[in-house]
Structure 1
Amino acid sequence: MLILDEHRLTVGFHHQKVSLTFVKFQLLKPLAAKHKRIFTRDQLIQNMYSDHRIVNHRTIDSHIKKLRKKLNDISHSKDWLQSLYGKGYHLAL
């Protein structure tokens, strides 16, 4: 189970922790809260940017790639963020 600390912007798993940027934390938060749900890029953008700015879908892909690397730093044996072609992303717990 992942442990998110919103005040410190960290995520932990089995006594390992990594720090995240605010944007990456905002990306992870809904995925962790509803880990069985598939989120589209547009849904993730809405969760990440409350000011309704226009963000390219490739920006989300880039954030996902970096977040995957951070999550791999706390557990190499698990593929946390899974992409479903043509649908979106979900967190595999």
Structure 2
Amino acid sequence: MLLSLISMLVGATITWWVARSYYEKASHDLSMEAAELKKLNTLMLRGMEEAGMAEFSRDHEGNIQGMKINMSSNIQAGSATIKCDASVMPKNSS
């Protein structure tokens, strides 16, 4: 009986140790992958902005906070022309 209990505790300890080391490594790998994806995403967004495809609102540190959408429209009816320009940004952006 005592030998079974000791064997169970040793097995549980070994299982816990192996699982913990696996999940710590997986967590570290996930953090590295997320950092790399964030870097690549920022590069793509900056490329879009420099190409004139998009305009972004930024915080005081220069981090992208939202996208600014510029729209322009012309409506003609006979000899009358209406031109409208608008910018749409998230409510909390500056």
Structure number with bigger Rg: 2
Higher relative helix content: 2
- Bigger strand share: 2
Common fold: TM-score over 0.5? no
Choose between structure 1 and 2 for higher RCO, CA contacts under 8 A separated by at least 6 residues.
Answer: 1
- TM-score by structure 1 length? 0.25
